[in-house]
């Protein structure tokens, strides 16, 4: 038997073993998901965050198996910046940058942490995260709960040195609940200041339905003031950090005239994140709705913006399969993000998408 034949047999044996391991972890994932469904949604989420933090320290190979294939390198350049690959985890899942180091093992090329506010805040009263398992939707009334910019920025700085080259971290910025709308620009600038030396891009969140008055900041006058304040902070560094705005799906419900598109085009941002959650209700509470019901509104926003603007777009909302992801890229999206689908479809979704592009 030749050495080449032996090598071929060894490779086949190795692949077979890896497939068997992946199958076992797939069964384990389905079992764990059913257990998680028995828990209150936010409790299950916190336990997941804790488990990932632990596994990335003591057994990262386990994460690679759960994620399908592990590190996925399909470089994509946007804003003159190379991304490990074009699939990211959307804001809201890792609010406090606790599991950033685990994400490359699941095939992600970037993450959007946050929303981050200047000062720590608890958010809205619990329960504030709800599932509709049958329709694969999430309803959240979180209210920008996070540990505050200073603590989270320090965590990001520590993580950066341990991440693969070109894995990118975006920072989603919000305002504190008790900050008046007229003073909101100061909050956005303060968070940007904390992350100047470690963020790869900023996302200005003016579209969450869970903070009273926040969506009023989508008006061009208020939005311009916020963007200008953040840009002023960026002038204090020699780093080029793109600034994006995250808009609501309802922002594009009505037909917009030429003046609207001229104003949006003139806004000095490098791109848009389309879209945030739908404004909805759950048991009488105002919530953000994501998952299957957000698919069409998100695609409509992508389509109408690509027809009228020449800015890069991160498409997010209702991306639940490789086929849907492929369609978003064909529609003109530069990068993709998901969150709800990771809860329902499983940890290998990013790798599955990349294999099918």
Catalytic: 208? yes
- 220 HSE (CA, 13 A, CB side): 10
Of 294, 20, 281, the closest CA to residue 140 belongs to: 281
Query: From CA 307, how far away is CA 14, in angstroms rounded?
Result: 48
From first CA to last CA, the distance across the chain in angstroms is: 39
Sheet holding 285-291, edge to edge: 129-132, 137-140, 285-291, 278-282
- Three-class DSSP labels, 25-73: HHHHHHHHHHHHHCCCHHHHHHHHHHHHHHHHHHCHHHHHHHCCCCCCC
- What is residue 121's DSSP assignment? B
Note the maximum CA span of the chain: 78
Burial of 319 (0-12, 13-18, 19+ CB in 10 A): buried
d(CA 145, CA 92): 9
Question: Which residue among the candidates 8, 10, 207, 208 is catalytic per the annotation?
Answer: 208
Burial class of 140 by CB neighbour count within 10 A (0 to 12, 13 to 18, 19+): buried
**Burial degree of 172 (CB within 10 A; 0-12, 13-18, 19+):** buried
Is 197 strand, coil or helix?
Answer: coil
3-state secondary structure of 125: coil
Catalytic residues: 208
């Amino acid at each position: 038997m030749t050495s080449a034949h032996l090598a071929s047999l060894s490779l086949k044996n190795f692949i077979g073993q890896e497939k068997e391991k992946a199958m076992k972890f797939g069964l384990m994932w389905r079992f764990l998901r059913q257990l998680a469904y028995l828990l209150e949604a936010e409790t299950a989420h916190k336990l997941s965050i804790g488990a990932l933090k632990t596994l990335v320290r003591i057994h990262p190979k386990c994460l690679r198996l759960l994620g399908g294939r592990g590190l996925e390198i399909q470089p994509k350049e946007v804003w003159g910046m190379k991304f490990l690959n074009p699939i990211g985890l959307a804001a809201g899942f890792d609010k406090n940058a606790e599991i950033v180091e685990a994400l490359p093992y699941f095939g992600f090329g970037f993450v959007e942490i946050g929303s981050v506010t200047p000062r720590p805040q608890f958010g809205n009263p619990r329960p504030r995260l709800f599932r509709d398992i049958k329709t694969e939707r999430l309803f959240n009334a979180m209210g920008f709960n996070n540990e505050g910019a200073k603590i989270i920025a320090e965590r990001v700085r520590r993580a950066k040195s341990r991440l693969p080259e070109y894995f990118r971290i975006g920072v989603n910025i919000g305002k504190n609940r008790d900050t008046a709308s007229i003073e909101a620009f100061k909050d956005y600038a303060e968070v940007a200041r904390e992350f100047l030396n470690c963020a790869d891009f900023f996302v200005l969140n003016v579209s969450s339905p869970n903070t009273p008055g926040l969506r009023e900041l989508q008006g061009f006058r208020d939005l311009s003031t916020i963007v200008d304040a953040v840009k002023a902070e960026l002038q204090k560094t020699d780093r080029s950090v793109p600034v994006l705005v995250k808009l609501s799906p309802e922002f594009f419900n009505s037909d917009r005239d030429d003046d609207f598109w001229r104003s949006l085009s003139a806004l000095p941002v490098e791109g848009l994140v389309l879209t945030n959650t739908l404004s909805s209700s759950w048991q009488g509470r105002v919530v953000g709705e994501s998952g299957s019901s957000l698919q069409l509104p998100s695609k409509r926003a992508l389509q109408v913006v690509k027809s009228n603007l020449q800015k890069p777009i991160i498409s997010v909302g209702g991306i639940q399969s490789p086929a849907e992801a492929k369609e978003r890229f064909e529609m003109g999206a530069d990068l993709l993000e998901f969150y709800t689908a990771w809860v329902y479809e499983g940890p290998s979704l990013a790798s599955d998408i990349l294999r099918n592009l």
